[in-house]
Structure 1
């Protein structure tokens, strides 16, 4: 098995966040042997029997305590390396929160034999990608690289495990402290509902409990500590005996063990680390707390303490959370969403190593109070008592769990991460077997038992989040304050720690040789056409027994140019197609899909509508029958339309509370100009959506949902001869001509100006800089411009990111990119920066763009770009999703079968002179828009000193001052994902 899946992020975050030490399961086939003390020990070997769901591996332990787990998989020439340390924010002390996460940042700042910022550069240049993440219970570092780079990846990880501290300087400490503050500002303080977990944790757990603060920590704690505190944290927790090295992919266990012994074996053991176990929090009564936030919708969240991960009661509580508020068949969905009382409502049961939380959340639609919502959430429990647990409930949950698990095994990164998490928290990499047994064995009686034990009549923490200036909206007045009395600090664990370096018999300063690059082949594919005009392209992928279908219908939001007063109709039509069919209600379809372990989703974007289907091979026929119902026989129920329209209107109004959304919308409005449909958000505006009726949806579907503009990509464990007959039902879909409007001319930029949108008291400023650039072209100037931009703002080690993030500490991440399609798209440079450096950040952005345009690329940067992009091919085609995206591009842009070879030839032969000419041509500094969304009172005075005209705009992009002559407009440019890890939890998110 191999290949990536979307579910792996959620699954791995859940697995790696928690654990007790459970009994080990007997794997399919397991052998063990122990060698003499002082030598590496082979602990066990697990193999697969037949088609059972298991990840084969071998497990070893080095004399210094490092655990090594190896999964061999030669399906792709790539390898995933993961080093997990059993330390997270739960190991921190009161007054020193945020250390574990802070140290994650410091681990990328160089070590004795790896220069500053070189870790990212070396992995990127090798064609790989990398990251690090921290949660309450562990910190992990990982790389996915071509298999010839295995030794380099292990050398890098070993160097920072054993040779870090002399490279930790005060200056690096200060810069990364600012970066962490920026991360907190971006993801917590400046994000609506960003402080929910922090506030809840303070009330749910006793003062001093390791879960009573968040992983990011408090600003005052970050300000208080010094570099020696940080070094002590490393010495206490980062020893090899508190780590697991897991390697998966195109390797052999013998190869990995030999290299692990070479690079990690001489690193001394650290202090012993014992697992923690704490009693569950005890609440004597309901604790009501609240805070004010920059939100449109108030929110109430009710949280009950439960059990740690892997506790026998965890799975029954998971089932209960699904029944109460986990989907379209849940009680909360029926009572709050379907009835139009709430814009969002759900239940979840996230668990961690030391504790679990059963959480219910509701955001009311205006006209319903938080007190009403609290009552409704409590009523859901009462209804559950009457309703009980059904056979369907259990079947949906069990089928969904197994389908998600299968999907999570579709990549070496996914499998490696699962092995690492199970080893870290259970000591058994094969704990997947136990998890499957627990899920298959759960009964109705188990679910009723845990309800009575943990929820019925039990106190909870009830958190209200209300708009600023409206404290009267809370569900109930606060009755709880954090009380530090009685807290006893734990014994000091940091006294007498000494830094002892490894002594080697080889020169560790020499970077390992890489060997020959693996031979990469574009996946073989086949093409066909259906009688009604659908173009089909497919590829076999037998790594997991699943099939993915992706329909792409050209048009989408762009079709609304025919009648801009109906903007948002494409998106609303797609939402309606996710609802009921003529034969089945939306709840019926959702239930059947869950039982099948399948999914069907309709969506709409700027230029396309999409239909994505995922199914296990064994359930493909049943899934396609449901697809036929939804695609060809939509019910278009008036009640569904009324509910979805109301939700959209509320979501549009809510955008004003989200700085990143405001920035993206206003930036697009400025770029495209008045009258351009892409100047309007895909979701529409209040005025356009209010004008829509159900007949508009039916008309849009009838006119534009057509096979004549449809491409279909099929990737999975099926042959063409198997799948094509199953798609015969699509020929019932009658073709009709679809007139896709031509792109109007975009607004001109006469000269570079600064535009400011006020976001009162914003913790950060969102910056967007750019202009309308190029249409997509696989082998022309667009492709070459992306090569040019790579070292400017396309890589972590780009000039822009190294300057603003790593050198200045202004931001959590800064980047630039081109984003074109059939029509020209923008060049964008973007970042979220601290308010007090908004003007300085603009200066640095423009300085880097100007310097690159005038001075060009260096020889070293050209070599780096060629190597990084050229070797990354090994990672491009691993998963079904990656193959589907590749094939979809081929159809959409009518690309030749050898276009990848042509790109590689361009990459090899492009010269400095060509790159520099592209920079001069496509970085027009004098004709770019500079736009900031932030606290005007704080940022405008500094911006006015930069020598540009400064124009104020309202949140809709309209000029406020008479002198403003800016082209006005909105849409949503693609935003790069931040490079550091984010937590994923088993609960619903709020906006």
Structure 2
């Protein structure tokens, strides 16, 4: 479970009037009969709070409403207090499975219609499952609110009759594909479930993975799932949270209409919190397809919202929270490890204190050596103690992350839902922050002594295949065989079904009123004396400032033999300066609650700055120091260089990383565009500090750089603050930004070998259009929407929903100002690689030859045309929007032009673009997977097969 912390803010919000409710409302609206207002929380002074009203329906459904008039949006979240911890032995994965089933249609929503309805409403949606809860959420233009309530109510009260064995079988395959993609085919993917099985005794609710075991899903049928649903998914075990430009009384009238008649489910009591104790250290290990071994150590501690949770969180920061921590100093800074982490993970029933490290091969240290260093770091903490800065930086981090978390209506709604579900009240935010502010040095030391000192842990070693002796210590614990009880067949007659009785026709989908008026962010332009072009916008929702600086110099500016240089230079700009050590710089930023991240892209080096506005000047002073006074010292250089090399080698074990590398090479050959931005082991190994200095001197210059800023501060104050950057001067060298694609054989399938891969990665495509915002690229993107640009696209419905070959399939035009390409692809079941390829081919040919239908055209127009309401909500969204205006020199009204294109471009014109750009006979075909099994399959399909060796 991710811990969510929040701070309520006082902001002056402009009123936004929207007629979003259908039907006549009384002149003086009152709450419907059976709906009770439980509490109303307002902001009275400077207290920390998110205002809300909390209601309860007669059937036990808790409803929370937060008014936020800043944007014409509504966010709807339904959180069920059920996760994998509510499952039984042998029935793992049920909660996650229902996360899938709840999108497959209900009694009044046809198959595959849920995604389509939300998409054509201009909305976005998703669902997540963890050990303790499942939530479903949508963000839509506010005029679509009633439709979202209708959808959520239909799957809460009218799902089971639409859940068929056929749907069950398809989604079972989808879940298997998800497990293959996220766990079985990913390096270290089985670490978490191995740790949990070793730490928790059999039958403990956390002893199995959230996604479940495949054999459990294989042994059950649809009635088992229905029984689980009827037990846990009633309104009395759910919280409906709504935020946005809504009226509480009108909204509650709709909520009662759609949810009020749904019968209560069985009563639910809080789960027990069984304690876990270890009488000795448990060493377990497994071999994996990895380059570097890993040691993971976990100690059982408390449970979420326990009085010692904040102290343990702060202890984790001291031991391993960033560059000022003990483990960073003892493992990473001195080059013993390429990575170390410490974190205290809290869930409803139990928390764990976790530590991990990956050794640096250059240091010659084993996992046993790293474990010794970790244990010695405990002793160092005992000598060092807790410092005042330790508390200050955690509290500053808490404040800033909380405030930044309130920049979207989704952020506020999700926090209200979280605290209602797990703390019993949405008004827990202030108390939660106070828990951390009240922690003393003595509390942290006491927590260490009670939960870590001389306590036993589970130590998991993950070692490369064929290296069983690389473990930290010989295994002394075996994960017990699962004791699966005999399955009892569930019959339809065994199901305690519940039916709602309505006084209206629930089968009629609500009709939304006109789209709300969406205002494009107002902005201003200027230029600093050192040549930086500035585009800014004021956003007064939170007292924060976000800045993106884009410097003209990146991966494409490198010589081929020095590939990875821009990436390494950017990484070093995040390190020490001549005035401050790495640790001192990190500490200063942490105490401000600010974040500064410098990273390289193909044509740019970007600097992303997030700061509380009250700390902007101090933050920009540190940014200036990074840009003007980089140290580029040997210690930082050697450490980062070693980490990058290990990262490159690690990527060779990941199928998607292999596909990305091979795809670039296939399209652009040996040019710099055909080489990963991180470089190769060979190119990075040859880089020197002098190379980094030269690149910095040649390219990291302000002339013609672009700076986009979104802040609650007025332009005059922002300009004063930005003047701190004018000591940075100079103009960078020009470099080539366009590359001629190399020739490939469209009659060949190019394969990158990944032995015994659980899944294969397929890519089909070719170089294509450069990016534009109102031209042919934009129109081609609209053309592709129904083929592979949405969940309900032809490709995804075919390969995921109909065939069960993949967790998700997409197609897209990907482009920058200077180049672009089109690609279709997915990660698919290894045993369905050739079948998936055939389906891709069929879909591309059919779409090119026959185009989209009139119905698809209307779906695209609604889905794309109504999403502007959620395009400029957060500062980061505004940064992207303004960044495009600056980089592409767009007129202020370009979104109006886009709206006209969406509504007026004809079916014939879009279909002509499909014919022009979707010829699969001219496209490259790439597959990453087990070449031994794949080669004869594609030869049988009539393709030549060429194996790509990425080391050549």
Q: TM-score range by the shorter chain?
A: over 0.9
2:379 corresponds in structure 1 to: 382
2:465: which partner in 1? 468
SS of match in other structure, 1:944: helix
CA separation of 1:661/1:487 partners in 2, compared to 1, >3 Å: closer, same or farther? closer
CA distance in structure 2 between the partners assigned to 1:945 and 1:303 by the alignment: 50
Q: Which residue of the partner structure matches residue 851 of structure 2?
A: 856
Identify the residue that residue 559 of structure 1 maps to in structure 2.
557
Q: 1:490 deviation in Å?
A: 14
Aligned with 2:2: secondary structure? helix
Other structure's SS at 2:346 match? coil
- Residue 924 of structure 1, CA deviation: 2.0
Decide whether the 8 Å contact of 1:236 with 1:493 is kept in 2: no
1:283 aligned onto 2:272:
no
- Aligned with 1:578 (options 574, 578, 582): 574
Give 1:106 deviation, angstroms. 0.4
Deviations 1:419-454 (A, max 9, x none): 001111111001111101101100001100110100
Count of residue pairs the alignment pairs up? 928
1:435 aligns with 2:432: yes
Aligned residue for 2:476, secondary structure, equals coil
Report whether the alignment pairs 1:360 with 2:349.
Answer: no
The correspondence for 2:831, drawn from 824, 828, 836, is 836
> Structure 2: how far apart are the matches of 1:488 and 1:176?
24
Correspondence list, 1:371-770, <5 A: 371-483=368-480, 496-560=494-558, 563-674=559-670, 676-770=671-765
Q: Distance in 2 between matches of 1:241 and 1:648?
A: 51
Q: Does 1:799 align with 2:794?
A: yes
Kept after mapping to 2: 8 A contact 1:836/1:939: no
Report the secondary structure of 2:345's partner residue.
coil
Counterpart secondary structure, 2:866: helix
Give me the whole-angstrom Cα distance separating, in 1, the residues matched to 2:456 and 2:357: 18
Q: Is the alpha carbon distance of 1:882 and 1:485 closer, same or farther for their aligned partners in structure 2, counting shifts above 3 Å?
A: closer
CA deviation string 1:681-730 (max 9, x = no partner): 10111121111111111111111111123000010111111111222232
SS of residue in 2 equivalent to 1:657 = coil
Q: Write out per-residue CA displacement over residues 398-423 of structure 1, whole angstroms, 9 at most, x where no aligned residue.
A: 11011111111111000000000111
- The TM-score with structure 2 as length reference comes to 0.95
1:358 CA drift (Å): 0.2
SS in 2 for 1:76: coil
Measured on the aligned residues, the alpha-carbon RMSD in Å equals 2.0
After superposition, the Cα gap between the structure-2 partners of 1:571 and 1:737, relative to the gap in structure 1 and judged at 3 Å, is closer
- Once the two structures are superposed, the pairs formed by residues 257-272 of structure 1 within 5 Å of their partners are 257-272=252-267
CA contact under 8 A between 1:574 and 1:609: conserved in structure 2? yes
- What is the CA–CA distance in structure 1 between the aligned matches of 2:182 and 2:155, rounded to whole Å? 27
After the TM superposition, which of the residue ranges 497-506 and 199-208 deviates more from structure 2? 497-506
Distance (Å, rounded) in 1 between the aligned partners of 2:826 and 2:221: 28
Q: Compared with structure 1, are the counterparts of its residues 922 and 52 closer, same or farther at alpha carbon in structure 2 (3 Å cutoff)?
A: farther
Equivalent position of 2:16 in the other structure: none
Q: Report the CA distance between 1:852 and its aligned residue.
A: 0.4
Q: CA deviation at 1:50?
A: 3.4
1:37-52 pair list within 5 angstroms? 39-52=34-47
For residues 235-255 of structure 1, give each alpha carbon's deviation from its aligned partner in whole angstroms, at most 9, with x where no partner exists: 000100000000000101112
Does residue 221 of structure 2 align to residue 226 of structure 1? yes
Q: How far is the alpha carbon of 1:635 from its aligned partner? A: 1.2
Q: Aligned in 2, Cα 1:931/1:491: closer, same or farther, shift over 3 Å?
A: closer
Change (3 A) 1:893 1:269: same
1:898 aligns with 2:887: no
User: Is the CA contact (8 Å cut-off) linking 2:340 and 2:358 kept in structure 1?
Assistant: yes
Hey, what's the Cα distance between the residues in 2 that align with 1:91 and 1:776? Answer: 48
Match of 1:914 in 2: 909
Contact 1:520 1:874 in 2 (8 A): yes
Q: Give the gaps of 5 or more residues in structure 2.
A: 11-29
1:814-825 equivalence runs, <5 A = 814-825=809-820
Deviations 1:790-813 (A, max 9, x none): 111000000010000011100000
Task: Note the C-alpha offset of 1:938.
Answer: 2.5
Corresponding residue number in structure 1 for 2:294: 299
SS of 1:13's equivalent in the other structure is coil
Deviation of 1:734 (Å) = 1.7
State the distance in 2 between where 1:539 and 1:203 align.
52
Looking at structure 2, the residues matched to 59 and 594 of structure 1 have their Cα atoms a distance apart, in angstroms, of 36
Structure 1 residues without counterparts, runs of 5 or longer: 1-11, 17-24, 28-34, 959-991
Measure the CA separation in 2 of the matches of 1:429 and 1:913. 52
SS at match of 1:322: helix
Give the drift of 1:13: 2.9
Superposition map of 1:24-39 within 5 A: 39=34
1:240 to 230, 235, 246: 235
Q: 1:709 touches 1:738 (CA, 8 Å); kept in 2?
A: no
1:492 & 1:621 partners in 2: Cα distance?
Answer: 67
Structure 2 CA distance, aligned partners of 1:37 and 1:511? 22
Give the conservation status (yes or no) of the 8 Å contact 2:89–2:485. Answer: no
- Residue by residue, what CA displacement relative to the aligned partner does 1:125-163 show, whole Å, maximum 9, x if unpaired? 000000010000000001000000000000000000000
Matched residue, 1:974: none
Task: Give the 3 Å change call, closer, same or farther, for CA 37–615 of structure 1 in structure 2.
Answer: closer
- In 1: Cα distance, 2:489 partner to 2:318 partner: 45
SS at match of 2:473: coil
Aligned equivalents of 2:762, 2:32: Cα separation in 1: 58
**Distance in 1, Cα, partners of 2:376 & 2:899:** 61
SS class of match (2:152): helix
Counterpart CA distance in 1 for 2:70 and 2:716 is 24
Q: How far is 1:484 from its partner?
A: 6.4
- Equivalent-residue separation in structure 2 for 1:750 and 1:497 (angstroms): 58
Q: How far did 1:930 drift?
A: 1.0
1:765-816 CA distances to partner (integer Å, 9 max, x unpaired)? 0111110001111111110111001111000000010000011100000001
CA contact (8 A) 1:671 1:746 kept: yes
Q: Distance in 2 between matches of 1:324 and 1:59?
A: 40
Distance 1:905 1:488, change over 3 A: closer
Distance 2:4 2:266 in 1: 25
Q: TM-score, normalised by structure 1?
A: 0.92
Which of 172, 176, 185 is matched with 1:181 structurally? Answer: 176
- Asked which structure has the greater RCO (Cα within 8 Å, sep 6+), the reply is 1
**How big is the shift at 1:500?**
1.7
Indicate the SS of the match to 1:247: strand
**Secondary structure in structure 2 of the residue aligned to 1:480:** coil
790-799 or 939-948, which moves further after superposition? Answer: 939-948
Structure 2 counterpart SS, 1:333: helix
Q: Tell me the SS of whatever aligns to 1:280.
A: coil
Residue 350 of structure 1 aligns to a residue whose secondary structure is strand
Query: How far apart in 2 are the matches of 1:161 and 1:512?
Result: 17
Matched, 1:99 2:94: yes
Offset, 1:496: 4.9
In the alignment, what sits opposite 2:51? Answer: 56
- Residues 607-654 of structure 1 show CA distances to partners (whole Å, capped at 9, x for unaligned) of 211011111111111111111111111111111111111111121122
> Structure 1 residue aligned with 2:773, among 775, 778, 787?
778
Whole-angstrom CA distance in 1 between matches of 2:779 and 2:448: 60
Paired residue for 2:337? Answer: 342
